Structure 1
């Protein structure tokens, strides 16, 4: 970990920051006790219309409708009991701009198939378009391969169903409603462990390949007809081991791997590579659950071979269950992918979220939001860069402030003010206009008229007594994000969820530490997207950080501060409302 170096240069001790206690206006809301209550609904991002939601299933272009089909996991039992007796199903919506979404409806039933061998809850999977080889399916129909909990024993198995209405629903169950890949089969894991889920299926060499999350491994299977599956490497265990997908790090204590997705991407130099994305964590690096990736190629059996060490796609605490556009044929390369993820963390999102800051209201039952869409590109050095995919038409009420510095701040009083002291001396206010909409886009360009930017940059983003605080040191590229949410107190397990959210992995309210990879810069551009339930930071090299928030207010106070040891720091600010 880089904690010691950070402590010397970024002062993670909370006392100095907590000296600033300015709150945005907070409006109390009604009781959050129904499956359709709107207290925790995003203004400019996808939110479940009902109950609980989490992992994205597939993002696929619909040529007939000229829109993207979006599928995500949904629970009719709500946020306080996402694995309740009604089971999870797949919800479906469509979008053409990743800001506005059509009416949501159930696409894949929570329960179905054979009376004993069928599924009692539908979990993560993927969708392919039948090229004509999937048995019992019309050519061109969309087929879902998904995890299901078997009715008879609650074990994880892989099922399949196809759509006859262009992806709106998947009602035609294959293999007589029984698993197409059975956890107890000698052709899979022979019942040796409990994890057999999150099936990702793609075409390769005129057959189907399926990646399955199996605890500490990713199992790889092949099929000629989509019904009968066997090990892709029949001379070995046919596993992608953690030493491959987590190359460069220790896997100890980090299981399980989840939600594998593999895509082929083309770099600017024309070369193509396979990119394996998956969910995991790395506590030894101070990282909670998140989305990771590694770059490489497929071997002769379709197993992924890493050529790079693993990297985190988003550095934040709340970017999980992500999914991606791109072809279901692995030999079709994409110059870019569109991706977004679930904004949440199992360590607190299901532990009970209130709608009031006194944490006395009933726990919310409707909860589940998603990030902004990002365009991903694989660079020649085999790292992924990201840009926000935000259409200009979704931005309004634009404001521009040029050359804002400590002597000329943008605030209600318009006078120089020192907010607090830090390692390099005074921390000066640059921007503070309270009671702004919670759904905003910020394009911030920091510069120094004498050379490289000196002194730290701070964002303090308040909703009532809740905050997210961002503390970036441009001299070494390190940044710290810490947060608190009163609504997480008095949870189902008492203070457990609040403590995890507040303390992060640094402990004592100090949140998380990350390295932007950007040091000693003359100009620094940071983009920030905020909404009621989320904040996303984006650096110019494409690194992102996403954090959830839980306040039910539509207003926020976004404050910008800086140290200024050379008396030459300034910022240009562009702000717009998102809708």
Structure 2
């Protein structure tokens, strides 16, 4: 068959294009690998005195125990990637809640040919009397109670695993799940021993019903429904990570009330709310009949917090996940908050939660930080800014400020400019707004690209005490936690300062004075 010259030309061009396409397709994988953006390490945002995994993703704290003189931290972890997925329980231990020993993954995801079970959030207990029969009385087991998420089945159930080597490694209990309602959103069991009725109590979240279900068990394996709490308080998003804690009132060990904590996605990001009431071994009754929304934290990153229940001196120490926001960090993603010592305080509005940076941490700080007392007597700072960098041992953004300010009717604002650049054109403002009666963090001129507009300024209502406001500012490279009036109010957020934005200053708008202040510096000598 003979073809016209034009047809031959067309076919020749088509062949050339086809060959070029084949060449491009063959080279595409190599080109993709060459062009793919490689992760860039971000050591300037790695915290110094907050927990982060050595590498890869973390979110919720899990299974908090005090065991053999060490604080055990299990945590949601992806052992393979720096993003959410392959949910397992990572593991670390500490004697002082500052320095951590990283251990192998304690409970890895369960992979079978027909299904995969991810190890979601939960708790762990030392079964001292071997009620479960999974250890011995001489060597009681550590039992982990967690949500097994099976994405292929769209189901979440409650599983248990046990350890006979002090919580280092776990075996799955053969008859798991121990509670299965065939629900897709049913998670985050938190378990404790309730001595008056001599049984284990579990709180677990009925996510979409905005309820906490309470179960009881004599052996950690067989569970009976006792009651439901909720809906109450904030219900515009699902409920997660519930826990029920007895807390001392007004520092009187004889006065105890129970507090129910519930995490939920709030209107402006993460929200943990709490309810104060009574627990009789079966039912939790809220003193406020579910009418109030009481935030644990007024910031945009504190979430999924649970407590060490068995810490020395009967302390209840809350630990939360600080969500990392919009910026990528590498080779890790996610960090924990500073641990909070919890108690209740009687106020004009009723009983309210008090959260102070844990005394376990503050007692150990001298081993890791250089303390510099900057001002130990009243110093007026009327309508001025005082640079504090020359007083600091080293340059950097890992430090802890304790301060008391005297405020008057002529005070507008008083506080600190942190993570300030040399030109004083970018910083974060932290302090007290006397005109509006608010503790505040203002990130407007430095974090515009990292936060939604509604979260650039974060506030918490607060009043002076006898003309004095107390402020603790915990700056740790990428995290910022502010405690007001001894922990009556807390605001936590994430920040991402430039490498040269390490200046620190104190300021006042109107008349104010520094009554007392010091800084613990965790920065390293360059």
TM-score normalised by length of structure 2:
0.78
User: Aligned to 1:257, which of 219, 223, 239?
Assistant: 239
**In the alignment, is residue 339 of structure 1 matched against residue 321 of structure 2?**
no
User: Aligned to 2:229, which of 215, 218, 240?
Assistant: 240
- Give the corresponding residue for 2:189: 199
User: Aligned to 2:357, which of 377, 380, 388?
Assistant: 388
**In the alignment, is residue 438 of structure 1 matched against residue 364 of structure 2?**
no
- Give the corresponding residue for 1:459: 416
Q: Cα distance, 1:327 vs. partner?
A: 4.0
Q: Cα distance, 1:93 vs. partner?
A: 0.9
Distance 1:60 1:144 in 2: 11
- Give the corresponding residue for 1:89: 88
Q: Judging changes above 3 Å, is the alpha-carbon distance between structure 1 residues 125 and 115 closer, same or farther for their aligned structure 2 residues?
A: farther
User: Aligned to 2:477, which of 521, 528, 532?
Assistant: 532
- Give the corresponding residue for 1:474: 434
- Give the corresponding residue for 2:499: 553
Contact 2:216-2:224 at 8 Å conserved across structures:
yes
Distance 1:32 1:504 in 2: 32
Contact 2:427-2:501 at 8 Å conserved across structures:
no
Q: Judging changes above 3 Å, is the alpha-carbon distance between structure 1 residues 92 and 70 closer, same or farther for their aligned structure 2 residues?
A: same
Contact 2:420-2:504 at 8 Å conserved across structures:
no
Contact 1:445-1:572 at 8 Å conserved across structures:
yes
Distance 2:278 2:134 in 1: 32
Q: Judging changes above 3 Å, is the alpha-carbon distance between structure 1 residues 453 and 344 closer, same or farther for their aligned structure 2 residues?
A: farther
Q: Cα distance, 1:479 vs. partner?
A: 3.4
**In the alignment, is residue 120 of structure 1 matched against residue 99 of structure 2?**
no
Contact 1:354-1:488 at 8 Å conserved across structures:
no
User: Aligned to 1:74, which of 74, 77, 95?
Assistant: 77
Distance 2:192 2:514 in 1: 50
Q: Judging changes above 3 Å, is the alpha-carbon distance between structure 1 residues 406 and 469 closer, same or farther for their aligned structure 2 residues?
A: closer
Matches within 5 A, 1:89-168: 89-111=88-110, 116=114, 119-130=116-127, 131-139=129-137, 140-150=140-150, 152-168=152-168
Q: Judging changes above 3 Å, is the alpha-carbon distance between structure 1 residues 154 and 212 closer, same or farther for their aligned structure 2 residues?
A: same
Q: Cα distance, 1:181 vs. partner?
A: 1.1
Q: Cα distance, 1:463 vs. partner?
A: 5.7
Q: Cα distance, 1:335 vs. partner?
A: 5.5
- Give the corresponding residue for 2:61: 56
Give the 3-state SS of the residue equivalent to 1:259 in structure 2. Answer: strand
Distance 2:97 2:522 in 1: 12
**Runs of 5+ unmatched residues, structure 1:** 1-30, 185-190, 233-237, 356-363, 408-426, 490-497
Q: Cα distance, 1:40 vs. partner?
A: 3.5
Give the 3-state SS of the residue equivalent to 1:385 in structure 2. Answer: strand
User: Aligned to 2:219, which of 176, 200, 225?
Assistant: 225
- Give the corresponding residue for 1:375: 341
Contact 1:263-1:327 at 8 Å conserved across structures:
no
Contact 1:175-1:227 at 8 Å conserved across structures:
no
Distance 1:122 1:405 in 2: 55
- Per-residue CA distance 1:266-307 (angstroms, 9 max, x = gap): 323412222112212443xxx53132222211246x232111
Distance 2:461 2:230 in 1: 27
Contact 2:243-2:306 at 8 Å conserved across structures:
yes
User: Aligned to 1:211, which of 172, 184, 203?
Assistant: 203
Q: Cα distance, 1:369 vs. partner?
A: 1.3
Distance 1:472 1:395 in 2: 26
Q: Cα distance, 1:41 vs. partner?
A: 1.7
Moved more, 51-60 or 555-564: 555-564
Contact 1:326-1:334 at 8 Å conserved across structures:
no
User: Aligned to 2:380, which of 405, 426, 436?
Assistant: 405
Contact 2:371-2:518 at 8 Å conserved across structures:
no
TM-score normalised by length of structure 1:
0.72
- Per-residue CA distance 1:104-162 (angstroms, 9 max, x = gap): 421111225x7657x52111000112232214444421100111112651421111100
- Larger-Rg structure: 2
More strand as a share of residues? 2
